[in-house]
Amino acid sequence: MNAELEKKLELFVDNKQKIAKAFIIENELSYMMSSLILANGNRAVDIEKMNEVRKILSTKASVFSSLRDSMEMIMLAKMSLANNPEGYIDDVMEVYNKILGKRIIEYHSFVLGALSIVDLGKKSDADRIITKAWDILDSMKKEHPILADENDFTFTILLAMTDKDTDSIISEMEECYEYLKKDLKIKADSNAIQSLCEIIIMSDGDLKEKCDKAAAIFESFKEHKMKYGSYYEFASIGALIGLDIDKEELVETVIEVSAEMKKNKGFGIFTLYEKTRLMFAAMLVAQEVSDNKDLIYNYLVNGIVINNTVATIVAEELSAIICSMAIAASNTASDAVIYTM
């Protein structure tokens, strides 16, 4: 593990421990996600500021709002990174209301979609992006009515920001899904495979070559006697496929980071599953060594981390069912980002 990666791990661990101590009734994964957001922004947690922005959030959204409940710790971390937290949440809520429209049911993915638009400086183009995102989601539902639903809206917002038209996006998604599922026979949850496809089609390079690399990395963990998660953890593999590093070295580095993480209070076997630690280790490695500067791609893999972690939290709170969706990690966004995820 190089010095920079070690420093990033220390920041992530320290942030998580301080947040967990200050906000004692939240879900463990909420602590992990808010810590990751801050670490991605190279920021040590400021508990006083998080409490200040919590007061601002409480004046903007009710306790039952999707901007709070399972999203609250994520929102606090993101607001604490903003130079103007109140202006930031006002922008997010404006875009969120456009996404929600006249719909009665709220989804956390709508909030994350709004965050994506604001964070990437696309608020002025929100109407066009939202319209295209709904078109993409409708097409996804036609192809996979069981797999695709409003929880995918986070991803369709990001896909809508690309130059690809809806037909091309759906065609590539289907090709990727069929290749991973039927040709490579990846033994992972179907929702998780779909999430991985969403990452793969956003990155440069030959589609099948990227699928092959993802499958090879997944299998390499087994060869190292470590089983990478095949449910909500699986799509984080997508954050590793674009790294210019030898596969064996990459897998060994992720395992090393996971092992170091485990030594710290709050990261051991009584707190986190081994697969969860591997997933967060993969995110930290991907963020630190990636040279991918594609802004939307970087945000996509980071967005999937948050989107599906929240889905997991919701599942645990409501029915103790582990959410079978994918998570991925991203490198720190470049200077073009208005607000940092």
Per-residue confidence in pLDDT tens, the chain, 341 aa: 888 899 999 999 999 999 999 998 777 888 888 898 898 888 999 999 999 999 999 999 888 888 887 788 889 999 999 999 999 999 999 999 999 998 888 888 888 889 889 988 899 999 999 999 999 999 999 988 888 888 888 888 888 888 889 999 999 999 999 999 999 999 998 888 988 888 888 777 899 999 999 999 999 999 999 989 888 788 888 888 878 889 999 999 999 999 999 999 888 876 678 888 998 898 888 877 765 545 555 555 555 555 555 555 544 333 222 222 232 333 332 333 334 34
Question: What pTM did the predictor assign?
Answer: 0.82
Which CB contacts under 8 angstroms, 24+ apart, belong to 125-129?
Answer: 126/95, 126/98, 127/98, 129/157, 129/160, 129/161
pLDDT of residue 311: 55
> How many CB atoms are closer than 10 A to CB 18?
18
pLDDT of residue 320: 25
pLDDT of residue 334: 32
For residue 29, give the nearest of 88, 80, 72, 92 by alpha carbon. Answer: 72
> How many CB atoms are closer than 10 A to CB 260?
18
